Amino acid sequence: MVIGGEAADVPESAVVRLTAWVRGNVQGVGMRWWVRARALELGLTGWARNLDDGRVEVVAEGSREACEQLLTRLGGPGSPGRVTGVTERWSEAHGVESGFVQR
């Protein structure tokens, strides 16, 4: 399930920032490593980190198309743990340093 705003009227080639909060049994199951691998495959920069409330926060920058693909994968089959929901927020890119890291 995906809840949140959409990147309406933004060209697919535009660089955007996706912030996603993944809920469920998502800590201690390799989620941050898995997100990093998927993000690097898609050419995205950013990070994934555990939050104190049990969610994983994902911040990714790159093309809208690549960010949408990552968002789809976050709650899709093959993601580690048990994802019960993903909340998303779209914004302008801030210029994240190169690479994708686990925090």
The pTM of the full predicted model, rounded to 2 decimals, is 0.86
Residue 32 annotated to the active site? yes
| Number of domains composing the chain | 1
Could you tell me the CATH number of the domain that includes residue 49? 3.30.70.100
What's the angle, vertex CA 99, arms to CA 96 and CA 103, rounded to 5? 80
The pLDDT assigned to 1 comes to 39
CA distance to 33, 54, 57, 76, per residue, from 103 (Å):
10, 14, 10, 23
Q: Say if CB 3 and CB 85 are below 8 A apart.
A: yes
Q: Structural domain of residue 16, as residue ranges? A: 2-102
Q: What does the pLDDT look like over 47-95, one tens digit per residue?
A: 999 999 999 999 999 999 999 999 999 999 999 999 999 999 999 999 8
Q: Which of 32, 38, 55, 64 is catalytic?
A: 32
Residue 25 annotated to the active site? no
